[in-house]
Chain A
Amino acid sequence: MINEIPPAAILIVGALGVPFFKGKLKSAYLLLLPAAALINLLAMPEGKYWIVRFLEYNLIFGRVDKLSLVFGYIFALITLIGMIFALHVTDNTQHIAAFVYAGSALGVTFAGDLFTLYVFWELMAISSVFLVWARNTERSMRAGWRYLLVHIVGGLCLLAGIIIYVAETGSPEFAYIGLGTYGIASHLILIGFAVNAGLFPLHAWLPDAYPRATVSGAVFMSALTTKSAVYILARTFPGTELLIWAGAFMTCFPIFYAVIVNDIRRVLAYSLINQVGFMVCGIGIGTQLAINGVVAHAFSHIIYKALLFMSTGAVLYMTGKIRATDLGGLHKTMPFTAICCMIGAASISAFPLFSGFVSKSMTVAAAAEEHLTIIWFMLMFASAGVFHHAGIKVPFFVFFGHDSGIRAKEPPINMRLAMGIAAFICIFLGVYPQPLYRILPYTVHYVPYTAFHVVGMLQLLMFGVLAFTLLVLSGYYPPEMRAVNLDTDWFARIPGRKFIWFCQAPLKRIGGFFDEGVSRIVGLLKTIPDRSVIVEKGTDSFFHSGLTSLPNLLFVWGRNLRTEIKQLSWNLAYILMPFFVLLALMLLWLS
């Protein structure tokens, strides 16, 4: 039947070989892996492959159909482009992490059952965090931990959901779930997916971690985590009304943040949430046009978002700076990077002749077709808004604006090549979208280039530029500032810290007070001889170990997280252990 290898295996197993190569051979090997994965996918016919019998369930590693293939192509393609961009990196950990991460994303995409999905899902979270840690600054260490903890909470919700779901239905099949039929199980599963998709209010990990990732790591991260979640949502929750509103809200709220945020890669992270919002909204609408729009948009989005992360990453790599307040005027010495960034910016803004135009408009058209008036207005507002921050703000403050006096050179040739390829694809798809339309899950009847659509979109965008120009000239535009902008992660970060403090000080003191009080009472009770032993034992075990050891444990645990931060392997072991135990228990219990 098949002579191909599972797509995930090429990258994950291949990753192990990275340390054995050096110099040019290593570069060749790094490019060979994603290229092989891509070619393997292109040759793969539809069907279900690599079915492994495990206990009484079938684990399916290769459910190949039109929907999974598109996502497979784009994940493999972006891994190839990202690897070209990362060729100069000497740190093997980063390459291995990137390959395992991309391989797991492919594993998620082609998983045909929920168990396989879950394993690759967790592997994605764990491997991607190394792309944050590899930056090797204290801030990235902390951000990495927060990232990991959020994804582990999301993963546990998903696991709980899967267990209940399988127990109820008796089948781990990964197909349409929907919110209506399965009660708590489907809600838990949705929460697990929503964390990765960055649904409000579970999105804060994204602008927290991505700007802290390495230059090339952010490129992989921007492409894989959220879009694999989009794929999964498109499979399991199409037509869920909640997602229409959640998606539309996601398109709108991040653009306000993007206007005031200073770190350019954080601006991009917020605009990433905004773009994923279009996809989530499309999944919620769920018509054929909408789903086509979602898939097409995910495809072109991955390319142009990676291009934006690459060009801003190149600036970070060459100048060591990434804040809008520190940059400006770089087009003078980095014209190629500037042009690539502007092509990415034009694509994300859905300018005619760029890739966003032919994909985003499908989702918006689907909203119009279903006469979702408020949603349509929100999406249009977001379309104008995304141009405003990602389209104008990013290139303007980095490459134009006030001259920062920095005279950085163009980045190394491999970075330029990767940016060039991505930029080419952005324009190619914008001019000639048919190859993309052909691989979409449903037949496309949509025609993007009508005079009305082109002029309407140009009016929308250009008058947005006019607003920007006039506001900057008149001084109303909010100036760039060095500041922290609170987001929903505040709830985890400040009250969380307070909770640890609460355990550490008051709770412990109360425990101590009880301790003293109890010994006094016990002393009194001892005067009644035959009861004394029982009373002493009972009260002691309750107050002494029960009440006081829990906060103590939490405190010690929290302190370990802080001080052992450099000893990753140990911490990772702590985190991995419960997963495997849980997984084993789950399988045993089900069998």
Chain B
Amino acid sequence: MKKRENQMKELNFLDSAENRKKVRKYFYIFLGILLAIDPFIHKHVELPWEGSPFFYAVYGYAACVSLIFIAKGLRLIVKRREDYYRK
């Protein structure tokens, strides 16, 4: 049993820092493309600010950053020891 486990195929691609860097590099390039094509897209807007350049990118980034910081603040209020309810 143990021997078989040792033989199990493992995907080690993400183990090396170099590969992880590569993944990040392609990710940043993709972000660049998303921003670059933004001005060329026909925008059919319901709400006025939707049409402003890079609106979704900025809002997505801002939303996630504020989400994390608010969540960190929330943790200060609601976090208790793991056995809180079992005292």
Q: Which residues of A contact B (CB under 8 A)?
A: 255-257, 259-260, 331-333, 335, 365, 368-369, 371, 373, 376, 380-381, 384-385, 388, 400, 403, 407, 409, 450-452, 455-469, 471, 476-478, 481-487, 493-494
Question: Could you give, for residues 57-68 of chain B, a 1 whenever the CB lies within 8 Å of some chain A CB and a 0 otherwise?
Answer: 111110111011
In the complex, the answer to whether A388 meets B37 with C-beta atoms within 8 Å is: no
Q: How many Å lie between the Cα of A393 and that of B31 in the bound state?
A: 20
Nearest opposing residue in chain B for A333, CB measure: B8
Contacts of A458 in B (CB 8 A): 34
When distances are taken between beta carbons in the complex, the residues of chain A under 8 Å from B68 are 259, 388, 467, 471, 476-478
Return chain A residues, CB-CB under 8 Å to B47.
Answer: 368, 371, 373, 376
In the assembled complex, the Cα of A460 lies from the Cα of B8 at a distance in Å of: 39
Identify the B interface with A (CB < 8 A).
5, 8-12, 14-15, 24, 27, 30-31, 34-35, 37-38, 41-44, 46-47, 50, 54-61, 63-65, 67-68, 70-72, 74-75, 77-85
Q: Are B82 and A452 in contact (CB under 8 A)?
A: no
Residues of A within 8 A of B81 (CB): 483-484
Q: Kindly provide the distance from the CB of B2 to the nearest chain A CB, expressed in whole angstroms.
A: 11
A-B contact pairs, 12 of them (CB 8 A): A259-B68, A368-B47, A368-B50, A407-B10, A456-B50, A456-B56, A459-B38, A464-B60, A467-B68, A483-B80, A483-B81, A486-B77
Most chain A beta-carbon neighbours within 10 Å: one of B15, B60, B68: B60
CB <8 Å contact, A460 and B59: yes
B11 nearest CB neighbor, chain A only = A332
Provide the bound-state CA to CA distance between A455 and B31, in Å.
11
CB pair A463–B67 under 8 Å, yes or no, is no
Q: Given the complex of chains A and B, what is the CA–CA distance between A452 and B60 in angstroms? A: 15
Contact B34 A332 (CB under 8 A): no
- Taking A385-B67, A478-B72, A487-B78 as known contacts, 19 extra A-B pairs with beta carbons closer than 8 A to each other, sorted by chain A number, are A255-B67, A255-B71, A260-B75, A331-B11, A371-B47, A384-B59, A459-B57, A459-B60, A460-B56, A460-B59, A460-B63, A467-B60, A467-B61, A477-B68, A484-B80, A484-B82, A484-B83, A485-B80, A494-B85
Q: Are A388 and B64 in contact (CB under 8 A)?
A: yes
Tell me the nearest residue of chain A to B9, going by C-beta.
Answer: A333
- What are the residues of chain A within 8 A of B65 when measuring CB–CB? 467, 471
Chain A residues contacting B56 (CB-CB under 8 Å) are 455-457, 459-460, 463
Q: Which residues of B contact A385 (CB under 8 A)?
A: 63-64, 67
Q: Are A463 and B58 in contact (CB under 8 A)?
A: yes
In the bound assembly, the distance between CA atoms of A404 and B58 in angstroms comes to 35
- Does A460 contact B60, Cβ atoms closer than 8 Å? yes
Knowing A260-B74, A469-B24, say if A455 contacts B12 (CB, 8 Å).
no
**Docked complex Cα distance between A259 and B79 (Å):** 12
Q: Are B27 and A256 in contact (CB under 8 A)?
A: no
- Contact (Cβ within 8 A) A481 B79: yes
Query: Is there contact, CB below 8 Å, between B43 and A452?
Result: yes
**In angstroms, how far is the closest chain B Cβ from the Cβ of A319?**
13
Contacts of A400 in B (CB 8 A): 14
From A255, A384, A494, B60 is in contact (CB under 8 Å) with A384
Q: Please judge, given known A-B contacts A483-B82, A485-B75, whether A455 and B34 are in contact too, CB under 8 Å.
A: yes
Most-contacted residue by chain A among B12, B27, B74 (CB, 10 A): B74
Q: Are B64 and A384 in contact (CB under 8 A)?
A: yes
Q: Are A461 and B60 in contact (CB under 8 A)?
A: yes
Q: Which residues of A contact B46 (CB under 8 A)?
A: 365, 368-369, 371
- Please name all residues of chain B whose beta carbon is closer than 8 Å to the beta carbon of A493 when the two chains form the complex: 85
5 smallest CB-CB distances across A and B, nearest first, come from A467-B64, A460-B60, A368-B46, A259-B71, A459-B56
User: Given A407-B8, A459-B60, does the pair A485, B67 have CB atoms closer than 8 Å?
Assistant: no
B-side contacts of A464, CB under 8 Å: 60-61, 63-64
- Chain A: which residue is nearest B28 at the CB level? A466
Residues of A within 8 Å of B71, CB to CB, are 255-257, 259-260, 478
Contacts of A468 in B (CB 8 A): 64
Closest to A400 in B: B14
Tell me, in angstroms, the Cα distance from A183 to B72 when the chains sit together.
41
